[in-house]
A and B are shown apart, each in its own frame.
Chain A
Amino acid sequence: MTSPAPAPPGTLRVEGGYAGTAASLEDLDTAAGVLDRAGDEVRHVAGRTARCAASLPPQSVLRSPLTAARAEARLAEVVAGPGGLVARAVALEVTARELRTAADRYREAEAVARSALELAGRMVGLPATVALAGLTVQRAGTARLLEELPVPPALDPWRDNLVDELGPNPVEALGQTLAEAPWATGLVVGGARTALDLAGGPPLTYRHEVRTLLAGAGSGGWLTDRRQVWARPLSAAVGVPVTAPDGVAGLLRDQQALMRCRPVDGPACPERGPARLRVLRVAAGDGTAAWVVELPGTQQWSPVSGRNPVDLGADVRLAGGERTRLGRSVARALADAMDGAGVAPGDEPVMLAGHSQGGLLAAQLAATPAFRRRFRVTHVVAAGAPIGRAAVPASVRVLALEHRRDPVPRLDQRPDPDRPRWVTVHRDLGVEVDEAWEAHDSRRYTGTARLVDRSHDASLRHWRRHSARFLAGEQARAWDYRLERTIRSATVERSIR
């Protein structure tokens, strides 16, 4: 419950989990329960002591009234005297009640602080958004003008330098700005949300804003999710033996393989291929087994829905907590793999893991009641993903990795919850990166995951202990699936254009 000191560049700052504030507040609740029970026990002792005092045989009192009076007086004093058993029982119960009140006050203060920060982000963000948008447009516009400006050949090097300085690509310019000032991501999103509110109508929730955006884009044929998404097993990888990830770094290394379309333990493809999903069954020596579902990050940035369903449209839908056809295809793939292994869904625990969109999809699937009813989801690992708004139940253990200069985890505009089973690891990459997109790279997150695997932090040690059956590097079997959307030929042509 003390404020964490800022971590130097390169080191990890861990929030939440076993040693987080919420865990400490839970400790206070537990302590209050202990005091309540102790109070009950003391009260019980008081009652039985009083009965003992009243149980002296009358004949014994007559035979020795003085010794009887001494014993009775002492017992009465112990039960009902000032500082006696009854008074102590009440005091313990009052202390327990005050302890619970203190924990509640801490929780209320935390909630108020979070709301205030979110509101401040939205209000301050509006001018920041306008300024950043203006700056980006201005830089890009000036660069384009300069490019088209007829100048003598001798001045060409000077013009090229200036165009480079201005950054002709607005996305690149924005990326540099966000890397230099990571907090600006929250401001930009907050500002955009406030602008949307000011455009008319009552203030909208984050989810309604996403729905408004989807409705607007959908009318133009963008960001749609109308076509079936298939998860087709890759014949080369149906239950093949592999080595399970050896820690969180192993999961992130697998992410890189997924993005390179490399078959399980096979050579990398020359080009980025179709979207892939990997399902692993990790068997322990004692006969038990656990499942790991590795979900890919965004692969298609076009707003037009094409054959690859791991796209921008899925990003937006998942950010708004919407269900996606992509999510349903993951459920089908997992059920198919379990069927292949002769395991009934729900019999063995499942970890969902991913980078970027993969992490967001993992959190949203864990937050979906129908998915949890079908599969026993116990763990989520998300790297570089905005999952602060995902309604993941408190029973699911979550590990979130976030780089300070990565704008993507900030898109949800909400800090991750501080609770005993949710650990968020922050890392400042320092001078290692000068572009926001570099900080988002899964290879960078693999480096952070290595630090997580070696960390002595109490929350991380606790998390590792409870996730060992998934990440012990044991023998496993893997199923790979190709994720593909059914599309009309006209859409194909449009997406190609």
Chain B
Amino acid sequence: MGGGTGAGDAEQVRALARAVARLAEELRAARDRAVTAGQVDWVSAAASGYRTRLREEVSGLTGLAGELDSAARLLLAHAAAVEADPR
């Protein structure tokens, strides 16, 4: 087949998994900052609508951070599979 060894490829995939896990943390930090945008002294129907929407966005970002963690785990599983491949 040529190219890299199985062990070398697996290590590259693990590095990608760590990078994706770090991105999940960065996304959580961005989410935490977005939460502070809801702490404004604003009372009205429009303000309630804004806060509802912001809550949805924050919740969506939390879910995406979890998805990134999950993707990192899938990359680790892929690295293990590459390492286990006898070729």
Contacts and interface: CB of A to CB of B under 8 A. Distances in A.
A34 B77 contact: no
A41 B13 contact: no
A74 B74 contact: yes
The binding surface of chain B is classed by DSSP as: helix
Interface in A80-133: 83-85, 88, 91-92, 95, 98-99, 102
Interface string B59-71: 0110110011011
Contacts, number: 142
Contacts of A490: none
Contacts of B36: 31, 34
6 contacts: A24-B41, A32-B37, A38-B30, A45-B26, A74-B71, A92-B57
B20 A52 contact: yes
Contacts of A64: 78, 81-82, 85
A185 to B, nearest CB: 32
Given A74-B71, A78-B71, A60 B12 contact: yes
Contacts of B29: 41
Tell which of B6, B30, B31 has the most Cβ of chain A within 10 Å: B30
Interface string A470-481: 000000000000
Contact of B43 (A1, A62, A78): A1
The 5 closest A-B pairs by CB, nearest first: A64-B81, A67-B78, A41-B30, A71-B74, A31-B37
B69 to A, nearest CB: 10
Interface of A: 1-2, 19, 23-24, 27-28, 30-32, 34-35, 37-38, 41-42, 44-45, 48-49, 52, 55-60, 62-64, 66-68, 70-71, 74-75, 77-78, 83-85, 88, 91-92, 95, 98-99, 102
B19 A59 contact: no
Interface in B9-40: 9-10, 12-13, 16, 19-20, 23, 26-27, 29-31, 33-34, 36-40
Nearest to B71: A74
Nearest to A105: B46
Given A35-B37, A42-B30, A91-B57, A57 B1 contact: no
A24 B40 CA distance: 7
B31 to A, nearest CB: 8
Contacts of A95: 50, 53-54, 57
Contact of B19 (A30, A48, A88, A92): A48
Contacts of B23: 45, 48-49, 52
A52 B72 CA distance: 10
A63 B81 contact: yes
Interface of B: 1, 3-4, 6, 8-10, 12-13, 16, 19-20, 23, 26-27, 29-31, 33-34, 36-44, 46, 50, 53-54, 57, 60-61, 63-64, 67-68, 70-71, 74-75, 77-79, 81-82, 85, 87
The binding surface of chain A is classed by DSSP as: helix
Given A56-B13, A67-B77, A42 B27 contact: yes
A45 B27 contact: yes
Contacts of A98: 50
Contacts of A71: 71, 74-75, 77-78
A70 B74 contact: yes
Contacts of B60: 83, 88, 91
A92 B43 CA distance: 21
A83 B29 CA distance: 18
A75 to B, nearest CB: 5
A232 to B, nearest CB: 50
A31 B3 contact: no
Tell which of A58, A64, A67, A75 has the most Cβ of chain B within 10 Å: A64
B40 A27 contact: yes
A456 B9 CA distance: 66
Nearest to B66: A78
Contact of A67 (B4, B31, B37, B74): B74
A52 B19 CA distance: 8
A1 B44 contact: yes
Given A41-B26, A57-B9, A74 B77 contact: no
Nearest to A62: B1
Tell which of A56, A88, A98, A99 has the most Cβ of chain B within 10 Å: A88
